[in-house]
């Protein structure tokens, strides 16, 4: 492998200029110089440093080899290669942030409407253990208490969470309207004696309107976006086990290097008391939700805290790493720890701790 394989990203401009200089007075086709920008621009989408550097090496190496093997080239071809290199260095340095890419905040990141992407983590945890099961769910609502089977504390947990953009560049400059859907299930996979039922399945559709809100803060923090959302969450069951709530929420996100933090404040849409399955739900699940994602290299760590700033609420910790370092966007090992109230809707007022391990199918 040539010297390009050991260059760092900061040395990339020198590498491209050297390749262009080597091409002077040698025969290089004009088309080859024109192909360079697209190749290197594609590398800018790779978030992991080592993988991104390898992509640059692969994109630049053919240009260097071709120049060395060709006997002649014109000065204009060399100048074209230098100009192309300069444009690509600018593109590489403008890769954007996690929140930029996730919410498509800049025009360069816009993908258009009705492209389905991951929202919350998508995972399958074949090993999931809960310290204490809620076999007698209760609620202050009349007729909303009942007895459940004696489920096993060892089961499987899975989540599917997708989003798509319904409208792009609507309302405020750069504003987008999104629809998202999340489904979480706890599956008694190892309870053959009761036909392996799903112990719980929760559904959460929501609409989100997100706008770029760039603002520099002290200590390197930057506000990136703000938004409003409308969400419904329920377990789809009938009485006495029906649980649900509707809410508006305000959303904001900020970053500092590899750390991204988002915050939500929920305002419940109250129902007719005679139809309210769980009138005290916000007292347990909390009105405030703070989520952090830290992505140093191949690893991704997440933490979600739901709270009213009292003794209730919950915290969830997530960690994931690629199964294959060669495919960081593919299958990933996944570990999750939850402690507090509301791992499922039926457990909104029941405290428990659980740990699960498995694979993530799509990233955040």
Q: Please report the DSSP string for 259-273 in residue order.
A: EEEEEEEEEE----G
Confidence grade of residue 46 (pLDDT, cut at 50, 70, 90): low
Active site residues: 232, 234
- Give the per-residue pLDDT at 55: 72
With 60 as the cut, is the pLDDT of residue 29 above it? no
Q: Name every residue whose Cβ is closer than 8 Å to that of residue 100 and which is 6 or more positions away in sequence.
A: 106, 109, 224
With 70 as the cut, is the pLDDT of residue 250 above it? yes
Encoding tokens for residue 279? 């009138």
Confidence grade of residue 8 (pLDDT, cut at 50, 70, 90): very low
Confidence grade of residue 183 (pLDDT, cut at 50, 70, 90): very high
Share of the chain above pLDDT 70, in %: 73
Q: Residue 56 burial (CB < 10 Å; 0-12/13-18/19+)? A: buried
With 80 as the cut, is the pLDDT of residue 49 above it? no
Work out whether strand 154-167 and strand 122-130 pair parallel, antiparallel, or are unpaired.
Answer: antiparallel
Structural domains in the chain, CATH included, are 3-95 (no CATH), 99-362 (2.40.230.10)
CB 176 within 8 A of CB 210: yes
- Give the per-residue pLDDT at 361: 86
Encoding tokens for residue 142? 């009349």
- Give the per-residue pLDDT at 41: 57
Confidence grade of residue 345 (pLDDT, cut at 50, 70, 90): very high
- Give the per-residue pLDDT at 63: 60
The mean pLDDT of the chain is 83
Q: Name every residue whose Cβ is closer than 8 Å to that of residue 295 and which is 6 or more positions away in sequence.
A: 47, 98, 258, 260, 301
With 50 as the cut, is the pLDDT of residue 5 above it? no
- Give the per-residue pLDDT at 199: 95
């Amino acid at each position: 492998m040539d010297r390009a394989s050991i260059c760092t990203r900061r040395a990339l401009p020198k590498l491209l200029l050297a390749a262009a200089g080597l091409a002077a007075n040698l025969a290089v086709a004009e088309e080859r110089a024109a192909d360079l920008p697209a190749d290197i621009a594609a590398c800018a989408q790779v978030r992991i440093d080592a993988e991104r550097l390898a992509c640059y090496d692969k994109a630049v190496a053919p240009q260097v080899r071709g120049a060395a093997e060709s006997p002649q080239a014109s000065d204009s071809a060399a100048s074209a290669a230098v100009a192309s290199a300069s444009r690509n260095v600018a593109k590489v340095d403008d890769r954007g942030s996690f929140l930029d890419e996730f919410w498509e905040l800049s025009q360069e990141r816009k993908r258009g409407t009705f492209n389905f992407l991951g929202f919350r983590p998508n995972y399958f945890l074949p090993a999931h253990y809960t310290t204490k099961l809620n076999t007698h769910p209760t609620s202050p609502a009349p007729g909303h208490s009942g007895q459940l089977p004696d489920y096993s504390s060892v089961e499987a947990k899975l989540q599917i969470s997708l989003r798509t953009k319904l409208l792009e560049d609507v309302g405020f400059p750069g504003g987008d309207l999104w629809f998202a859907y999340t489904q979480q299930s706890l599956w008694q996979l190892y309870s053959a004696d009761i036909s392996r039922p799903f112990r719980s399945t929760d559904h959460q559709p929501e609409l989100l309107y997100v706008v770029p809100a760039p603002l520099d803060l002290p200590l390197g923090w930057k506000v990136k976006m703000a938004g409003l959302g409308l969400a419904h969450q329920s377990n789809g069951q009938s009485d006495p086990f029906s649980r649900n709530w509707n809410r508006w929420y305000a959303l904001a996100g900020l970053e500092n290097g590899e750390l991204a933090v988002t915050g939500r404040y929920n305002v419940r849409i109250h129902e007719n008391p005679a139809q309210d399955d769980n009138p005290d739900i916000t007292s347990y699940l909390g009105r405030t939700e703070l989520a952090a994602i830290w992505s140093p290299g191949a690893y991704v760590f997440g933490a979600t805290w739901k709270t009213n700033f009292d003794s209730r609420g919950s915290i969830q910790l997530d960690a994931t790493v690629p199964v294959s370092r060669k495919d960081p966007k593919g299958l990933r090992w996944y570990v999750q720890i939850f402690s507090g109230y509301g791992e499922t809707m039926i457990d909104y007022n029941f405290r428990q701790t659980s740990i699960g391990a498995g694979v993530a199918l799509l990233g955040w």
